[in-house]
């Protein structure tokens, strides 16, 4: 591990020296991901339509602490896209904002932010987010040994401080964030056995700091460099009465591209990434992954092309060398038709911090297996020929080793007692995915906006080609409608359908139960936002208005009809 620290320190010093020599501005905006959100891979959003306008645009290399992003909207407890009415606060356009809302099931959401410094060269902002819920939820089909209802609790508080400075040719951005998230492992027991008494409320502390620099002008040499540290600390462990594990992640990244000549469309470059994972209060081993991706890029008015190859070198992570392609191609046919394809892959680290953005109920003691994807290919077509309409279609395939699929898990002892929390763990499976979808968007003079989207996400075991059932739907439909009759009023509706879900239960002392299908989801959400003045607005949002009874994971019910009303101030 000494070599690991030497490499990390060397790259860090390189980044500091680059910042001192050529200071200019780093626009390192982080993507929004709520407490529960679908997984996203580089080629396509698993539960959404991939962005296609410019697949080869220079993107931020580091997305440290995806949980540390200001998000406004209704508090949600389900991880499915039915809860995506919330939008990112346009913080850069305001000096400050505050919002507070309450609803049934003790749903509470509070947000506040203040731009302490906002000039053309410097930006300093701080924001805070609170979300909590505490209601009793009815089980869908409880077993005979279970009660009819369960208490669900969560209390999440996040604070973030970010500073950005723009030099002549370089941008520097540094930020820090902290989140305290307390919740209970709710849901009925899947075994008719007594449960050992003990604390069932988990308290997770997450903390992150990062600093980064990148060039902001199209010079002969462009670069993006960053260092970030993120920690994840569980208070209680998997076994009742044990301490939870601690995960610390040090991540260093550097991307460099050089034009072959002044004004050339051709560039040669490389991406370098070093990940160091350190664990305490668990039997998990520390491990390191070093990634190197040399590439060639070409960009003209009509064609954008990238060809590269990624090499991952791992220490204490099962394998040593892994290879994958890194190819992108985008061509414009006229002004309205655009073809794109992405073929990539590589090693994917499934850290606690990353996976908890999808599922907070994961095993607080066991380290999650890394996923290796030899190939992840996507082909799509985008058309905006008809006025007001945008149509996208895409298909793709993905082959992965140790892809993760959720499974409820508990531990028992010989005398017939459950001695662990029933967590939503992940089982690594060698799997193959077929992805496809169509997306149609419509905009009528910014008064009526609509979207209809269908996504097929079929995972199968490699070899047998049996479908894998998990909480992720195989088929999803999104019907989204927004009406803006006047400038001060916004009415939004979302109807979501998710089918092809299932669950598996695993007891390490027994045999894993066969997968069982779960009920489909039909959820209708509605929101109304009205600006009383330029500063003051009121809002009301209703979710699951059909009051459908379904589970997030098997035995863990989602909230039925729920609402939120509140007041917001923007200044």
Query: Mean pLDDT for the chain?
Result: 82
| Residue 18 pLDDT exceeds 70 | no
**Residue 300: HSE in the Cβ half-sphere, 13 Å Cα cutoff:** 4
Q: Which residues of 299-313 are buried (b: 16+ CB within 10 A; e: fewer)?
A: beeeebbbebebebb
Bigger pLDDT: 9 vs 507? 507
Rounded Cα distance, 85 and 231, in Å: 29
> In sequence order, what are the beta bridge partners of 295?
269, 308
Among residues 341, 253, 248, 352, the alpha carbon closest in space to that of 293 is found at 253
Q: Is the per-residue pLDDT at 66 higher than 80?
A: no
pLDDT tier at 67, thresholds 50, 70, 90: very low
Q: Alpha-carbon Rg of the chain, whole angstroms?
A: 24
Question: 318 pLDDT band (50/70/90 cuts)?
Answer: confident
Cα angle vertex 427, ends 423, 433, to 5°?
Answer: 130
Contact in structure between 38 and 48 (CB atoms under 8 Å): yes
* pLDDT confidence of residue 5: 39
Please say if the pLDDT value at position 513 is more than 80.
no
For residue 558, report the phi and psi dihedrals to the nearest 5 degrees: -85, 160
Q: Give residue 462's pLDDT band: very low, low, confident or very high (50, 70, 90).
A: confident
Task: Give the contacts of 544 (CB within 8 A, at least 6 positions apart).
Answer: 82, 523, 524, 525, 558, 559, 560, 561, 562
Q: Quick: pLDDT tens for 100-127.
A: 999 999 999 898 988 888 888 998 989 8
Average pLDDT for residues 179-199, to the nearest whole number?
A: 89
pLDDT at 566: 93
pLDDT score recorded for residue 514:
67
Calculate what percentage of the chain has a pLDDT beyond 70. 82
Q: Identify whether the C-beta of residue 354 lies closer than 8 Å to the C-beta of residue 21.
A: no
Of the chain, the percentage scoring pLDDT greater than 90 comes to 59
Block residue for tokens 């306008």: 53
Query: Two tokens at 296?
Result: 């060639």
Residue corresponding to tokens 């395939």: 397
The first and second tokens of residue 434, run together, are: 């077929």
Give the residue with greater pLDDT, 62 vs 350: 350
Compute how many other C-beta atoms are within 10 angstroms of the C-beta atom of residue 386: 10
Q: Tell me what pLDDT residue 96 has.
A: 87
User: pTM to 2 decimals?
Assistant: 0.84
Residue 343 has pLDDT above 50, yes or no: yes
> How is 224-255 classified by DSSP, letter by letter?
EEEEEEEEEEESB-SBTTSBPPEEEEEEEEEE
Q: Report the C-alpha gap between 73 and 101 in whole angstroms.
A: 9
**547: which residues sit within 8 A by CB, 6+ positions away?**
560, 561
The mean pLDDT of 256-272, rounded to a whole number, is: 93
Q: What pLDDT, in 10s, does the model give residues 71-91?
A: 433 333 333 322 222 323 334
- Of residues 504 and 322, more confidence is placed in 322
Compute the average pLDDT of residues 318-332. 93
Under DSSP, the state recorded for 383 is E
Q: Are strands 551-553 and 556-557 parallel, antiparallel or unpaired?
A: antiparallel
**pLDDT category, 373, cuts 50, 70, 90?**
very high
Please tell me the predicted confidence (pLDDT) of residue 217. Answer: 78
**3-class secondary-structure state, position 7:** helix
**353 with 359: CB under 8 angstroms?**
no
pLDDT tens digits along 131-178: 899 999 999 888 888 899 999 999 999 998 889 999 989 999 999 999
| pLDDT recorded at residue 193 | 87
Sequence-distant (≥ 6) Cβ neighbours of residue 305 within 8 angstroms: 56, 297, 298, 299, 328, 329, 330
């Amino acid at each position: 591990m000494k070599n690991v620290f030497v490499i990390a320190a060397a790259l860090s010093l390189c980044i500091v020296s680059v910042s001192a020599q050529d200071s200019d501005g780093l626009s390192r905006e982080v993507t929004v991901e709520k407490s529960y959100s679908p997984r996203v891979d580089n080629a396509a959003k698993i539960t959404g339509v991939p962005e296609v306008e410019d697949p080869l645009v220079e993107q931020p290399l580091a997305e440290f602490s995806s949980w540390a992003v200001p998000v406004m909207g209704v508090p949600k407890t389900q991880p499915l896209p039915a809860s995506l009415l919330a939008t990112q606060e346009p913080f850069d356009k305001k000096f400050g904002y505050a919002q507070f809302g309450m609803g049934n099931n003790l749903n509470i959401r509070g947000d506040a932010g203040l731009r302490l410094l906002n000039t053309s060269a410097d930006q300093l902002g701080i924001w805070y987010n609170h979300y909590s819920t505490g209601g009793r939820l009815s089980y869908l089909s409880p077993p005979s040994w279970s009660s009819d209802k369960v208490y669900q609790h969560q209390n999440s508080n996040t604070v973030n401080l970010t500073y950005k400075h723009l030099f002549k040719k370089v941008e520097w951005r540094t930020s820090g964030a902290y989140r305290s998230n307390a919740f209970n492992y709710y849901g009925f027991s899947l075994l008719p056995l007594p449960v050992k008494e003990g604390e069932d409320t988990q308290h997770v502390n997450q903390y992150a700091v990062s600093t980064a620099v990148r060039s902001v002008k199209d010079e002969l040499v462009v670069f993006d460099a960053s260092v970030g540290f993120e920690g994840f600390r569980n208070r209680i462990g998997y076994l009742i009465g044990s301490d939870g594990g601690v995960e610390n992640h040090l991540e260093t990244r550097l991307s460099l591209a050089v034009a072959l000549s002044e004004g050339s469309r051709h560039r040669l470059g490389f991406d370098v990434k070093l990940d160091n994972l350190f664990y305490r209060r668990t039997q998990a081993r520390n491990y390191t992954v070093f990634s190197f991706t040399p590439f060639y890029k070409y960009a003209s008015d009509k064609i954008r092309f990238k060809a590269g190859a990624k090499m991952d070198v791992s220490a204490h992570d099962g394998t040593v060398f892994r290879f994958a392609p890194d190819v992108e191609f985008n061509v414009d046919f006229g002004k309205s038709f655009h073809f794109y394809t992405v073929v990539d892959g590589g090693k994917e680290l499934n850290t606690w911090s990353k996976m908890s953005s999808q599922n907070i109920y994961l095993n607080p003691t066991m380290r999650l297996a890394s996923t290796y994807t030899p190939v992840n290919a996507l082909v799509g077509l985008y058309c905006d020929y008809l006025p007001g309409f945008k149509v996208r279609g895409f298909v793709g395939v993905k082959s992965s080793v140790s892809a993760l699929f959720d499974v409820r898990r508990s531990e028992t002892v010989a005398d017939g007692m459950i001695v662990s929390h029933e967590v939503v763990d992940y089982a690594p499976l060698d799997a193959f995915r077929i992805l496809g979808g169509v997306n149609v968007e419509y905009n009528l003079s910014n008064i009526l906006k609509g979207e209809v989207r269908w996504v097929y996400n079929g995972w199968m075991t490699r070899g047998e080609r049996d479908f894998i059932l998990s909480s992720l739907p195989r088929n999803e439909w999104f019907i989204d409608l927004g009406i803006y009759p006047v400038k001060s009023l916004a009415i939004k509706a979302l109807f979501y359908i998710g089918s092809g879900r299932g669950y598996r239960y695993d007891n390490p002392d027994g045999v894993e139960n066969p997968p069982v299908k779960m009920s489909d989801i039909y959820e209708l959400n509605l929101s109304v936002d009205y600006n009383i003045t330029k500063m003051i607005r009121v809002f009301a949002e209703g979710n699951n208005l059909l009051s459908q009874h379904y589970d997030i994971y098997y035995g863990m019910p989602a909230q039925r009809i729920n609402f939120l009303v509140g007041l917001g101030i923007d200044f």
